[in-house]
Every structure is written in C-alpha cells, then in structure tokens.
Amino acid sequence: MKKIQYILIVLLAGCVSCNDLELIPESALTGSNFPLTENDAIAAINGVYVPNSDFSSSSSYFAELPADATQCGENVTAGSNAAIGAFQHDPQSGGIATVWSTLFTGVTAAGSAIDRISAADITPSLKARLIGEAKFLRALYYFYLVQLFGEVPIVLHADEGTGATRAPIDDVYAQIVRDLTDASAPGVLPESYAGTDKGRATNGAAYALLAKVNLVWAQVSPENNANQRLTAAVEAANSVRGYELEEEFIENWSTSRRNGKENIFSAHHAESQQSAGDGGNHLAHCSFATSFSQETPHLVISNISFYDKFDDRDQRKRGSYAKTLYNPQADTTGGNPYFEFQYPRFRKYIDTANILTTNLTRSIDRTILRYADVLLIKAEALNELNQSPTAEAYEAVNKIRRRAFRHPLNAPSVDDVPAGLSYEQFRETVREERFKEFVYEQQRWFDLVRWRILVKTVKPVVNQKMVKIVDADNKPILDANGKEQFKLEETTEKAAISLKHYRFPIPQSQRNINPDGLWQNWGWDGAEDAKTGAKPYAGFE
C-alpha cells in the first residue's frame, strides 16, 4: 500500500450535497491552517462521509453477486465487476482495487480529521460529537475491509501508511470495537438530529454497529472470548433505542420517507452529489437497467426458487421482488399499464414514484443499518450464547415475522416461530429470516462468510436469466405482435466458487508497492498464506 496518506481536502473538493449532509468545500483546510473554525471542522467530517456513498455502487457487486441469490443478468465481461458473480475475478481486477482505495480513503480521512479536530479550539460538545462521527465511520470502513480482505493494515494517523503491514484479524476487530465504544459513550453522539443534520451517525447507529461487529467477531474468531463478544452484542443491541419497525416494509426505501423510524444509518445520495448529476447510487440502475423489458438487468435474482421461498402473504415478497409494475407510459398509449416480468426484479431500489427515470436518477439512499437487523442480531447472539433460544430471542424474531405477515408487533400470532426449537433449528430459522428480510441489501455474502457455509450454499445454484432470441445476424426475432421474444437460459457459473472466495484478493497494484507488508490471501495466484503456511479454511464449507 503506497503511503496511505490523503489530504482531507481531496474528499471535500467538488462535493456539494449528500442528501441531508451538506458537504462544504473548504480549499484552505490544509496543513497548520486546519481547522480554523467550527464550520471548518464540520466540513472535514462531512468529507469523511463521502467514501460511504462512493462505496454504494460497488457494494452490490461485492456483497450480492458472489452469494447465492443474485446474478449478473447480462453477459459477463472479463475484468468487470460482473466477473465476481462468475468467480472470474483476480488480484488484477480494477473493481477490487477501487473498493480497497475507497475504504482506505475513508479510514485515512477519519484519522486525519480526528487528529486535527482533537487539537482544535472549538466547543467541547461539538468536538466530542465530530470525533465520535469520525470514529463511527472509521469503524464502518474497517468493518467492510476486514470482512472483504481479512487481515488489513491498521492506520490511525495520516503518517502511518508507508510500508504498513497487514494486522491480525483480532487486532482489526479490537480497533473497530474501540472506535465504536468511544462513539457510543454517553454524551458523544446524539440520539437524533434535526434539519440538514439528519443522516449523521447517531448514538443508536454506534450501538447497532457495535452489536453487529461483536456478533461477527465471535463467529469469525470463536477462540477469542466468543461468549464475551456475544454478551457484548446483546448488550449493544439492547442499547439501541428510539427506533421501531415500519408497518409497511417497502416504506424503508421510499424517497419521500428518508431517515424513517426504522432507518438507523444509510449512505445518502442526491442527484447533485456526483459530477454526472445522477445521485451516484447504481443499486437503482443495476436492478432496473432494462426498464420495462423481459431482458434481465445488470443484477437480478439468480433462480426463481429464491422468489418461491416466500409465502404469498409475506409482504416482504412484494417488497423485495417486483413481478408486476405499473408503467405510466403504457397507460397513455392505450396499452396494458401493468407490465408483468417473466423473471422478477429486485424491488427495493426501484423508485416507483419516478419509475420511468429510476434507472437514470440514482438518488435512493443505500440502507446499511435498520432496526430489523438489530432484532435479528440480538436473537442470533442470544441463541449462540445460550446454545438454545431464549424467550427474548423468540420475541425478537417474532416481531420481524409479525410485521411481515401484518400482525400487531407485540401480540402473539399464528405466524410466530413455533416454540420448542432446538439450538440448531432456531439458528436455521434466524438465517432464513435474515435472507427474507435483507434481499438486495448487501448482507448476504457477509452472512454466508461468517456462518462458514459460503461454498456449499453457492456452488449448487443454477443461474436462470431471460435472453433475447436472435437470428444468425444477431437481430431480434419478433413474435406475431412485433415484440421481441426471450427464452430462459440456465448456467452453472456459480459452481466455480472455491474456498479462496471466502476473501477477496489483495489488489496487485497495492502489492506491487508493498509486497512484504501486503502478502496475498491464500489461494490467489497460487499463493499459500505466507504468514501461516497452512490452508486457513479448516471447518469452512
């Protein structure tokens, strides 16, 4: 890694607005002149949020495509992020280098801001809040990095990047926990914000992420005080207050209800945010790139069996997948305004209020933490801690199910999880609920990795996609009504997955600069893990 040192102004220059977070360019915030005022310090922290939004478009390719339930609906091009879904990526892949750079830009910007603001002469309460925001964001970026790449350098100050060595996973998690513990301390981050400050990291966001980190740490490193981590996960989940489930599941992605009562933390997007003026969140574009056509878009459900897993009464089915959508353009031409897709689309990031331009205006926020996640984290941690489900664990899952089936959240219902489940049965129930709750929310690959079932879950999947029927000259063959025809095509490209795909490779461009500090992950380029000399995936499936 070439000297991880970025002048913070690089993040600020050209940034104008990040939804509710106003990113104010401050060209003078460099060297000893930084920060001059409280507004300077606020502008610096606004800049630390930028990589979070920049990561949105990559997140689906890295956390969805290499999992079981998502595929690339178009032809896979070598070297593109689409290759990740066919497990054709390698250390030279540009998208992997981009993600590494984006997340470490966030890490370094956060560390620089913490150092500068700590020495600034500003109001103590504001100083504490801004440092808390930076520590929350640094923890979030490192949480992504350690899950994607394993051991990564710990860089807390701007001058520490040169020749930095990958730190042990436990050390990285310990640093994440330290940052989140500081951020969640009393009096640091507020419980909520008003006006243009909505969307900043809150006390609830710090606790929610702390709960998730402790649960994941306990599972990826069970020999390191796992019960202590699980207990901490439950305690942190119980400390998340002031949030509740939306009655209508799909309201979590309504552009008219940003920062709703279930939302804890998101990556914010606005059309003015990027130079292209499109909002920058390609989750919307990728799930609806082909608009009202049978041709599958960039990212689509990998097999209809995942759609069929849902009970038709479960509102998450229609909230997660679009089988039929209203086409206002067809309505004006006298056609059937309800377009039925032969193959469902991911629904959450389709802006139905502006459906004719939803694949072009990419300003829907990317959900990162919502209250449903906290409830399922708590249920899972309690079951793992006690090796059997507790009444509290049942209640947490049942609140999720009652919302799904439209029952009162606090009253037992016929759709509750049945009583008397064993540890293993309840574990599988939680896993199934996580799948149904978080379709296309960039959680699935991370879940399969921490559960150590990635390969056995993904390998058997047969991809299905709709492809255009063409003639020998590659021209579409039309039906009697003059419409293009499509056929269902099946591929087994996910069978190429292997144990090395529990991690992404370290980008070769970074290793060329620092080959000793950034050794390659096991299995990539034929490399054994240089630090252990052994296959690191014993017990992984």
**What per-residue confidence (pLDDT) applies to 272?**
60
What is the C-alpha to C-alpha distance for residues 20 and 270, in angstroms, rounded to an integer?
Answer: 9
Q: Would you write out the chain's pLDDT as a tens digit for each of its 541 residues? A: 333 323 333 333 323 223 333 333 333 344 445 667 899 999 999 999 999 999 988 898 999 999 999 999 877 666 678 899 999 999 999 999 999 999 999 999 999 999 999 999 999 999 999 999 999 999 999 999 999 999 999 999 977 777 889 999 999 999 999 999 999 999 999 999 998 899 999 999 999 999 999 999 999 999 889 999 999 999 999 999 999 999 999 999 987 777 899 999 998 887 665 545 566 677 888 888 889 988 888 899 999 999 999 999 999 999 999 999 999 888 777 678 999 998 999 999 998 888 887 777 667 889 999 999 999 999 999 999 999 999 999 999 999 999 999 999 999 999 999 999 999 999 999 999 999 999 999 999 999 999 999 999 999 999 998 888 998 988 999 888 888 888 888 999 999 999 999 999 999 999 999 999 999 999 998 755 555 545 678 889 9
Q: CB neighbours of 68 closer than 8 A, spacing ≥ 6?
A: 302, 306, 444, 448, 457, 458, 461, 494
Closest CA to 303 of 445, 494, 446: 494
- Beta strands at 463-468 and 486-491: parallel, antiparallel or unpaired: antiparallel
Closest CA to 62 of 81, 90, 80: 81
**What per-residue confidence (pLDDT) applies to 172?**
98
Distance between first and last Cα of the chain: 31
Here the tokens at position 284 are: 């919307």
Q: Between helices 423-437 and 391-404, what is the axis angle to 10°?
A: 30
Q: How far is CA 294 from CA 326, 411, 483, 487, in A?
A: 15, 42, 11, 9
**What per-residue confidence (pLDDT) applies to 270?**
75
Give me the helices (H) in 55-93, please.
Answer: 56-63
Convert 467-496 to b/e letters by CB count within 10 Å (16 or more is b). Answer: ebeeeeeeeeeeeeeeeeebeeeeeebbee
Q: Please say whether the beta carbons of 40 and 29 come within 8 A.
A: yes
3-state secondary structure (DSSP) of residue 325 = strand
**What per-residue confidence (pLDDT) applies to 279?**
62
Here the tokens at position 202 are: 């809150």
What is the C-alpha to C-alpha distance for residues 498 and 456, in angstroms, rounded to an integer?
Answer: 9
What is the C-alpha to C-alpha distance for residues 188 and 203, in angstroms, rounded to an integer?
Answer: 8
Strand (E) or helix (H) holding 179: helix 169-183
**What per-residue confidence (pLDDT) applies to 425?**
98
Here the tokens at position 314 are: 């479960």
What sign results for the dihedral spanned by CA atoms 181, 99, 361, 300?
A: negative
Phi, psi torsion values for 342, nearest 5 degrees: -70, -25
Strand partners, 322: 345
Number of neighbours of residue 293 by Cβ within 10 angstroms: 15
**What per-residue confidence (pLDDT) applies to 515?**
92
Question: pTM for the full model?
Answer: 0.92
Q: Please say whether the beta carbons of 484 and 290 come within 8 A.
A: no
Here the tokens at position 237 are: 């989940």
